[in-house]
Amino acid sequence: MFEKEKEKEVQKFEYEDGYDTRYRDRYDQYDRNTKKKSGKSWILIALVFSILGGIIGSAITNVLLTDNISKNSEPPVESKAVTIKTKGDVNVATAVAEKAIPSVVGITVKGETQSFFGPVQTQGTGSGIILNEEGYILTNAHVVKMNGQVVNEITVIVEDEHIFTGKPLWVETGADIAVIKIEPGDKKLTPATLGDSSTTQIGEVAIAIGNPIDMAFQHSVSQGIISGLDRYIGRVNGGGYMVGLIQTDASINGGNSGGPLLNEKGEVIGINTVKVTTAEGMGFAIPIDFVKPMIKQILETGEYKPMSLGVLSVDLAGAERYFGQQFDVDEGVFILKVYENSPAKAAGMEMGDVIVKIGDDEITGTMSMQTVMYKYSSGDTVKIKVLRNGQEEELDLTFSDYSVSSDPEAQRDMQE
């Protein structure tokens, strides 16, 4: 009914899905300078780029006409528990790597794309975090996609080169989060330790682990610091709407997507997601606290239902065009209707209210409001600031099991 407004661009970014790499044997030397190759098989390299307004998402795509990765037949190695007590940059990084690497997996997905030579096989590479011994793995939504579509089958490689076939259990593009399920059988998995991202401070140690470029560089470790908190980089095509991110100068490259950003205790404080190409040392991770409500619900029920206010809404700019009037704020969400038996109705929200803040989060439009909803679970209470008749009011809203998908009136409105 209304035209979607473009989100304000903070910087010019590129979202990179491809690297020009030669992928031979898993542990072959990486050679960027060779121009000619001899032998019975040729490797065709294709670049698959997704321009998304300035962000490099950390999944990469290699075009292959060679054999698939083969399984390592060596017996699995038991991982030992590590308690980190050391101090000093080098010792901390070593201890963190020892503790966390068993909980980081490599992820590859396959698909087909068109090239000058016709259809060719493509392969995307990313990283993931083991959540529990039952085989639930956390990663980015864009890692489990190929050509914009969620793949049906995923290859998951654990620390000792054990290879599993996984399925995408839950994928949420808006939050750029996905959960994969594998069947570990007799293989004992090592779950990651999830930290508390709300206590993270600028200047603290930050360590990233993942699979940059391709699986030949599996479990690469890079160290830096927390450079910034609560960063906003706007809407990312294929990767959601990015707000509240952790900024780090720890190196995050193609293939690191879905891997952990860790503190000096080896606890996961973020999920590595994107980097800026126009500057050095600017990578971003989704805070783990943002994801915890989703993880909890998925592990308990097998699915995640995002919270809903129970309103029909539109970006403020769209409302200004439709009603032909200006409001006293530049950004926000205009309420067209409040549904009965919804959290918004119980909180006293009214038609014509403009939502400008939910909790500590500024609301710039419907996309940012949708992203904020992922933070909350049923029973949570939050303060919502609205503009009503030119005056600011604060409402106490408690989320419930209400869902627009179960509300006949809301469904009719969505179809109109």
Which helix (H) or strand (E) segment holds residue 384: the answer is strand 381-388
Catalytic residue among 50, 227, 257, 313: 257
CA–CA separation, 135 vs 375, rounded Å?
Answer: 24
Task: Give the single-character DSSP code of 320.
Answer: H
Task: Give the single-character DSSP code of 25.
Answer: S
- Which among 83, 114, 77, 117 has a CA at the least distance from the CA of 98? 83
Name 279's Cβ contacts closer than 8 Å, sequence gap at least 6: none
The answer to whether the beta carbons of residues 330 and 314 sit under 8 Å apart is: no
CA–CA separation, 118 vs 78, rounded Å?
Answer: 45
Is residue 368 annotated as part of the catalytic site, yes or no?
Answer: no
Name 412's Cβ contacts closer than 8 Å, sequence gap at least 6: none
The answer to whether the beta carbons of residues 119 and 112 sit under 8 Å apart is: yes
Is residue 127 annotated as part of the catalytic site, yes or no?
Answer: no
Catalytic residue among 142, 197, 308, 315: 142
CA–CA separation, 110 vs 216, rounded Å?
Answer: 17
CA–CA separation, 114 vs 121, rounded Å?
Answer: 9
- Site of tokens 């914009």: 148
Could you give the residue ranges of the DSSP H alpha helices within 30-177? 89-100
Residue type, 253: N
The answer to whether the beta carbons of residues 192 and 221 sit under 8 Å apart is: no
Catalytic residue among 176, 289, 315, 407: 176
The Cβ of residue 162 has, within 10 Å, a number of other Cβ atoms equal to: 20
Where would I find the beta strands (DSSP E) of 56-197? 56-57, 60-64, 104-115, 118-130, 136-139, 145-146, 149-150, 154-157, 163-172, 177-181
Is residue 176 annotated as part of the catalytic site, yes or no?
Answer: yes
- Which among 150, 127, 131, 159 has a CA at the least distance from the CA of 140? 127
- For the annotated catalytic residues, the residue numbers are 142, 176, 257
